Amino acid sequence: MRLILLGAPGAGKGTQANFIKEKYNIPQISTGDMLRAAIKAGTEMGMAAKKVMDAGGLVSDDIIIGLVKDRLAEPDCANGYLFDGFPRTIAQADAMKDSGVVVDYVLEIDVPDESIIERMDGRRSHPASGRVYHVKFNPPKVEGKDDVTGEPLVQRDDDKAETVKKRLDVYHNQTEVLLSYYNNWAQSGQPGAPKYRRIAGVGPVEQIRDSAFAALAE
């Protein structure tokens, strides 16, 4: 199973990625993790990336694709791999295609913006333990207090409505174009084109998981 997971920030990609990884015994490929590992290992690509990052620049798509190809050659990718958060742009998608990175499925988790904002803005956490609550879907026994310690819960800056809206704007402006890119490629009938599947990302987590598994079995 070789797939790309697409969807807006807060759509639940991370949660579903864990289910998919376990079911198919495949690693999750994150460009951030790859960069850190390559720099730590001192590989040629890693050192090239470090030079750019130390100078305050953005790592080029060529280096990223080089890292991806190196990563996919590792033994744990024998059963496949899952891309989450990559590619982010058409240029990266083209570079992946041109370099022969094989993708069987592109799975889009579709969640309306208002649901994402409600989901994120309602989160409250207990910093010391990592316990997470939601004011509507999973409220603490006492409003604003951790169930176990009674200590105050906090709302992370990343979860505040205005921050979430900004992240969604960036997604719509930069990354959403990938939905039609992969959908059109899937429908083109070209050799090597992936299958494109869209599932609704609202409802119980298990229901979304079952939808994802069903979509990837078609």
Is residue 71 marked as binding? Answer: no
Q: In b/e form, how buried is each residue of 38-49, taking b as 16+ CB within 10 angstroms? A: bbeeeeebbebb
Looking up tokens 């990938």 gives: 178
Looking up tokens 């409220």 gives: 139
Of residues 132, 137, 139, the one with CA closest to residue 159: 132
Contact 135, 124 (CB under 8 A): yes
Is residue 57 marked as binding? Answer: yes
Is residue 14 marked as binding? Answer: yes
Is residue 86 marked as binding? Answer: yes
Is residue 87 marked as binding? Answer: yes
Is residue 209 marked as binding? Answer: no
Catalytic residue IDs: 13, 88, 123, 156, 167
Is residue 93 marked as binding? Answer: no
Of residues 150, 130, 155, the one with CA closest to residue 140: 150
Residues at the annotated binding site for AMP? 31, 36, 57-59, 85-88, 92, 156, 167
The binding site consists of 10-15, 31, 36, 57-59, 85-88, 92, 123, 132-133, 156, 167, 203
Binding residues for ATP: 10-15, 123, 132-133, 203
